[in-house]
Amino acid sequence: MSLEIVILAAGKGARMHSSLPKALQRLGGKPLLAHVLETAASLEHSGIHAVIGHGADLVRRTFEIPDFPFAGVSGLNWVLQEKQLGTGHAVQQAMSGINADLVLVLYGDVPLVRPGTLRELIALAEAGNIALLTLETSSPEGFGRIVRGADGEVQAIVEERDADPRQKRISEINSGIMALPAGRLRQWLDRLDCDNAQREYYLTDVVAMARDENCPVRAMKIDDDREVQGVNDQAQLAALEGHYRMSKAEQLLAAGVRLLDPARVDVRGHLLTGQDVEIDVNVVFEGEVSLGDGVKIGPNCVIRDASIAAGTRVLSGTSIEGAAIGADCSIGPMARLRSGTELAAGVKIGNFVETKKAKIGKGSKASHLCYLGDVEIGENANIGAGVIVCNYDGKDKHRTVIGDNVFVGSNSVLVAPVTLQDDSFVAAGSTVSSEVPAGHLAVARKRQKNIARWKRPGKR
């Protein structure tokens, strides 16, 4: 039985008090809608339709950015709901593009529903039934109630504003997620009216229509409220962020990672770990990150789109982005490795060292207070404290090449393009703007002058 998926994501999110449409509010570093699209894409389907309204152009542009952190969806169709007249009206906008037997309705602000749960729901609907995802809760306020008959079968879904006192005491609520037979759904949508407190066309009204036509309505009840938790304000988003963070931490713990405090690690992307990995507090992972066996990450680090090989230690306060780090390196504390950095095994990058487009060979080290940009450094080189590679002339970037076993003394400036050949030595405080041959000492500074009988300036 063929399946197409409709995601309702047209809401403004007024209670978020944000200029962004609700679909673009971020959870775990990604827009809410990206989570739902990724879940939908994991199901066997023949099409996904995202119904957007408020900020529709911004939503589309966001997902079309080339480096946007979302892999994309094959067959994604954007559907515009110009006027937000309710969930039934929203689904109706997408129906003209649907040719499947079954329609699965998801919500752009319900990001944590699991693919396995949805597969069970789809299987429940494959016999021509309506299948609803419901939740038993002690706090049903604000949600539509599942009204069952004496036989226990679902008779209707009553929205909170339209519920009478008896119905408001019902503890089983509607998640909004449902799977429906496409042919019948078209007929039911055409018969919807807006005779309710909100003056909207409710998708949930099709349940009563189905019962009138003896179409079975099956409810799949779950007990994990995180799966169906929607986001309507910043407090709900923060609560869901906590759930998301803990679920990621639980996955890491199950994989054998040592987390010094599971509540203070944020995974905002995909993290692949080896054995005996240790992560300290307040560490944030973004994008695609891999940690090899025995890697230790100190507190207060941010690591994005990076690979770190076995045995490397990343000390506190370090920022790493777009870098490939070899085995048994030492990074930080308070270092910054920017995009294009490649470190071979045994490299040391110390405190307040910044690298960008830097390829550094085995065993080399820059221990303190350096900027290394657009540079290639060979093996066993030593870059002293305060060394600056001047790679930018105000218009273009230029490259510096430093060979094997080179020593660059403290407070030296290397003006690119320049080459320091193997075994050369740069005296401290030098400004080097031309090639240093192999084995040579470069001294590029003015001769010291001492002034006799000099008097220290006094205070006025």
**Which residues are annotated as catalytic?**
368
Please calculate the CA angle 341-347-348 and round it to the nearest 5 degrees: 100
Two structure tokens written together for 255: 């994989």
What's the rounded Cα separation, in Å, for the pair 132 and 178? 5
Strand partners, 172: 136
What's the rounded Cα separation, in Å, for the pair 86 and 305? 40
Nearest to 40 by CA among 95, 99, 121, 97: 121
Report the relative pairing of strands 407-408 and 388-390 from DSSP bridges: unpaired
What's the rounded Cα separation, in Å, for the pair 394 and 392? 6
Two structure tokens written together for 36: 């739902």
What are the Cα distances from residue 131, in Å, to 3, 49, 126, 179, 205?
A: 14, 19, 9, 5, 14
C-beta neighbour count of 10 within 10 angstroms: 28
Nearest to 78 by CA among 99, 63, 66, 65: 63
| Residue recorded with tokens 């909207």 | 200
Please calculate the CA angle 32-79-85 and round it to the nearest 5 degrees: 85
Q: Do 157 and 147 meet the contact criterion of CB atoms below 8 Å apart?
A: yes
Two structure tokens written together for 245: 């963070």
Q: Do 412 and 428 meet the contact criterion of CB atoms below 8 Å apart?
A: yes
What are the Cα distances from residue 422, in Å, to 1, 169, 426, 437, 448?
A: 68, 81, 12, 8, 29
